[in-house]
Structure 1
């Protein structure tokens, strides 16, 4: 029989350890001065920490005790991320834990605030992603531009578009440039959540990452975990093809390409706000330039040092998501919940975690503390004589 704190959820300990980038059970055991086998039993569910151990875990992992008693805000859909062989396991686990926390935060906030209605049409009509041809993806991107009234020109900013069509978006520093974005539909498949990286970010890269994750939400909504593992390369290619088609429509962008040179593409970048590298790929995908020409452009691109930073990358400010931040501000401003209530009753992670994920300014939860209005009584009673005295107003200095 399992002993310890009733209701302890083992998955929450695994999640918190990942969120704090504690790679091993042994490292956590050392941190809280217990045997590694004890942490193993906690995480596999064969035992649970007692009250004192739970308090130690909460203190060292910077969460409230209640964190370990709530179910994981897990999705029944896979998480779409670009797995790289060189990416550390702890970075991938960290990114996954932050997605779960984003989903948990949005679930809590949605109890109080109506989010924008999800406006993501079923473009596959029951078909599988395996049946998609490149021309199908091009048409889907074009149809969605029409559906969302984006027009045929440049998409000025993907961030407000994502939130307008009902996506919940968070952005955090991943701690590595090898992780870009992450997408997952919430439990029940009623709303997509997208988590974007801010590491070494430029506006054109943010545009492509956002469109890429939107592609997953649209094309791969019903993909299973097994299919994702088996067909990851093709699924990623489809998402990138969608993003390119959405940001650079074949019916308009391609006709503005006067010459396939880096100088020409740099000029187009200023208008279309898409990186030169992505444009080279787009021209190759549309068979506007042959493969050997694309290879030559990539080599020249690398020789110029543009792999580290392209010209014009800093021309546009990077927009942040606003829906969750505005919703929390509305809850507080409307006196539905105070900031202290939110932290002590609703949320179980620390204030900084919530601020990071929701794009609230650092320290938001500690600012503008509630001030209780007080005023002096007109009469007071002398505690020694019991007689009433009148309070005289103090004259102001001239």
Structure 2
């Protein structure tokens, strides 16, 4: 029998600590004035010790969650979470990203109580085959098939995030406070809906397009990847996602035919039309054997010599649209008086207002603002038109032309 608070979920404490980037149990213990051993026991699933209620309240205040947070089951899924750059990323940052993904799935679950999000529309492109059997030609064909399925044509792609939301993927964009985290894709353990979390750090529209297309590729190709295969096949999985993202943004049937000569000037011109980075175009041309590898290396070196490693021409030429589905859904719920803001926070959401605002793309302080009260004008009987048969009366403008 657990000692302390009945129903306390140890994994919730770990999740909240990681969501706040508190790297160690000792660091959390110092913040709330308890021993590191106590926090270790509280996070241990096999331990029978849990914090008493006053300590639970202190934990909730320090970790900026409601006390009920620690009493609800987690949203952990058996499916892998697809994260990029694992080898060079701090474990603290990876844990932060995973925790934020769980919170995004919970927020989406709350919204789904009241609003019907679009049905997931991702065709079965593998048709029973394993992702390990895919060749480059297969991925190129899949990219064209996806464009046809979603009625996109074969020209430059519109906003990929908008497309993802239209086909039923929940998308959020938050700062990761590191340049080594681009995005991640995971599936909700409740409804199996794909969720994508993108980074806003040092963001440009071309980079957002590639990051979003990369996570979309995971949702298309890797839904059935077993957790035990994920680490072993990570390199293959990431290569496939990048190849499909590139083929989706720059289809083989059209894009390479517009490259009259592979120079930086030409690729900059094409970037304005296709809205894909110059480096991504170089890689695409090499993948399609339009240019040899040594030419690609020369172009990469020229990019570096021009200082384009940290920013390319036209990067800030376009605004970066934000995800809208969760933002619009919550406004719809409140504006139609289905639930009030305070009611949502006290009964539905168990994370802080600022967390909900960030994950759902709401302006800071949204929960503190009073909604506009909608009133109807009273129609007086003497103002009702006498003609109610639907016919329109045409009133001519006065003739103000000077007399001849």
TM-score, normalising length: structure 1: 0.92
Aligned mates of 1:290, 1:309 — CA distance in 2? 25
Alignment of 1:326-345 (within 5 A): 326-345=328-347
Aligned mates of 1:75, 1:333 — CA distance in 2? 33
**SS of aligned partner of 2:327:** helix
C-alpha contact 1:76 1:188 (8 A) present in aligned 2: no
C-alpha contact 2:78 2:227 (8 A) present in aligned 1: no
Quote how far apart the aligned CAs of 1:289 are.
Answer: 0.6
Aligned mates of 1:302, 1:228 — CA distance in 2? 33
1:228 is matched with which residue: 219, 230, 236? 230
Quote how far apart the aligned CAs of 1:85 are.
Answer: 3.0
Aligned mates of 2:356, 2:187 — CA distance in 1? 20
Aligned mates of 1:352, 1:227 — CA distance in 2? 36
* 1:249-273 deviation per Cα after TM superposition (whole angstroms, max 9, x unaligned): 0100000000111110000000000
**SS of aligned partner of 2:83:** coil
1:246 is matched with which residue: 229, 245, 248? 248
Q: Is 1:210 aligned to 2:212, yes or no?
A: yes
C-alpha contact 1:79 1:184 (8 A) present in aligned 2: yes
Aligned mates of 2:223, 2:103 — CA distance in 1? 20
Alignment of 1:217-366 (within 5 A): 217-366=219-368
Quote how far apart the aligned CAs of 1:77 are.
Answer: 1.1
Aligned mates of 2:163, 2:304 — CA distance in 1? 32
Aligned mates of 2:278, 2:201 — CA distance in 1? 19
Q: What corresponds to 2:98 in structure 1?
A: 96
**SS of aligned partner of 1:59:** helix
Q: What corresponds to 1:393 in structure 2?
A: none
Quote how far apart the aligned CAs of 1:190 are.
Answer: 2.6
Q: Is 1:37 aligned to 2:37, yes or no?
A: yes
* 1:182-225 deviation per Cα after TM superposition (whole angstroms, max 9, x unaligned): 00111156310000000000000000000000000000000011
Deviates more, 1:256-265 or 1:360-369: 360-369
Quote how far apart the aligned CAs of 1:75 are.
Answer: 1.9
C-alpha contact 1:5 1:48 (8 A) present in aligned 2: yes
Aligned mates of 1:291, 1:211 — CA distance in 2? 24
**SS of aligned partner of 2:297:** helix
Alignment of 1:15-94 (within 5 A): 15-45=15-45, 46=47, 47-94=49-96
Figure out how many residues of one structure are paired with residues of the other and give that number.
373
Aligned mates of 2:193, 2:124 — CA distance in 1? 13
Quote how far apart the aligned CAs of 1:89 are.
Answer: 1.4
C-alpha contact 1:76 1:186 (8 A) present in aligned 2: no
Quote how far apart the aligned CAs of 1:74 are.
Answer: 1.7
Q: What corresponds to 2:11 in structure 1?
A: 11
**SS of aligned partner of 1:48:** coil
* 1:294-347 deviation per Cα after TM superposition (whole angstroms, max 9, x unaligned): 111111111111011000000100000000011100110111110001111100
C-alpha contact 2:118 2:166 (8 A) present in aligned 1: yes
C-alpha contact 2:120 2:167 (8 A) present in aligned 1: yes
* 1:216-248 deviation per Cα after TM superposition (whole angstroms, max 9, x unaligned): 000000001111100101100000000000000
Aligned mates of 1:244, 1:4 — CA distance in 2? 53
Aligned mates of 2:295, 2:111 — CA distance in 1? 51
Quote how far apart the aligned CAs of 1:76 are.
Answer: 2.3
Quote how far apart the aligned CAs of 1:369 are.
Answer: 5.8
C-alpha contact 1:78 1:224 (8 A) present in aligned 2: yes
Aligned mates of 1:243, 1:85 — CA distance in 2? 21
C-alpha contact 1:167 1:192 (8 A) present in aligned 2: yes
Unaligned runs of 5+ in 1: 374-398
Q: What corresponds to 2:400 in structure 1?
A: none
**SS of aligned partner of 1:195:** strand
* 1:342-395 deviation per Cα after TM superposition (whole angstroms, max 9, x unaligned): 111100111110111111111111111688x9xxxxxxxxxxxxxxxxxxxxxx
**SS of aligned partner of 1:150:** coil
Q: What corresponds to 2:397 in structure 1?
A: none
Aligned mates of 1:7, 1:346 — CA distance in 2? 18
Aligned mates of 1:34, 1:147 — CA distance in 2? 57
Q: Is 1:178 aligned to 2:180, yes or no?
A: yes
